[in-house]
Structures are given as C-alpha cells and as structure tokens.
Structure 1
Amino acid sequence: MFRSELQKHSGDVTVFINSPGGDVFAASQIYTMLRNHPGKVTVKIDGIAASAASVVAMAGDVTLISPTGMIMCHNPMTCAMG
C-alpha cells in the first residue's frame, strides 16, 4: 500500500513518524522506496521513531524532530525457536 501511494506523487512528500518500531526488513524496504523517490522527502518525527522506525526516519533529504519528539536506536537482536 505504501509503495502505491508513494508512486502516485512524483513531487515533494512529507512523511510523519510516530511509531514504536516493528519489522526491520519492512523498515528497510520503506527506507529504500523513500530514498529512490524523485521528489524531496521531508521526514517529521512528531512523536517517537523507535527501533525500526528510526531506519525510516533516516530516509529523508531533511529530517526534523519535534522538541518533545524522541528517536530510539538499539543493538540488533534476534530470536530462534525450533
């Protein structure tokens, strides 16, 4: 869905982030789509960009954060079960 919405706009876009994170592979894919976008990408963190959301936050040509916003990065972790 994100890809199809982004492809509708060839001009400048603004992405607002308020997310605790999620799947790093999905975040990496969103990062790549934003970096490949032909227009100027502005990322605005108006809440929190934690974990995988911090990857998306770095995709902007310009990244802005609210005075009360937060970015949280951590060491990678994984789990294996079987």
Structure 2
Amino acid sequence: MVKKMWNWFWYRPEKVSYRIWIDDDRYIASASNEALTVYNYGSTPDMAKEAALFQLQQTLKKKEKRERKFITRGNGYVLYRVK
C-alpha cells in the first residue's frame, strides 16, 4: 500500500523526472525521460532515487550501443556511426 508520494522534476539536458513512493518499509523510485521509465527501490529516498537514475543511465547506454553501426576501414581503425 502506498502511503506517500513525492514528485521531483529535474530539467537538465537529460530532462529526468523522479517520482518516489513509500511502500511499507521501502522507498520505490521511478526515473524517466521522454522515452524511457525505470523503477528501483531503496531504504531511503535518496538511495532509491540514485539507484533509479543509475539504472536509467545504464539502460540508455545499452540502447545507444545497439544503435551504433561499425564501419571498418582498411588501416585498422573503426568508425562508429549512430543511426
């Protein structure tokens, strides 16, 4: 059962918004940008928020890696082109 909820909006170049819920003995946090939302939990609101932000950054890095296109050159170097 959710007892209390906070909303934080953090507008930087990433445009990340946070939402934190208290669920019995833990805090559940969501971090979202315009395209992706992740959830995580922690024993304090700050830990939950940091864990959700870390998970969002890791997911975005994985997504960016999948969208890269490798172009090999004859001299042994590799160029990366984002689709």
* TM-score by shorter chain over 0.5: no
TM-score (norm 2): 0.19
| Structure with larger RCO (C-alpha < 8 A, sep 6+) | 1
Larger Cα Rg: Structure 1 or Structure 2?
2
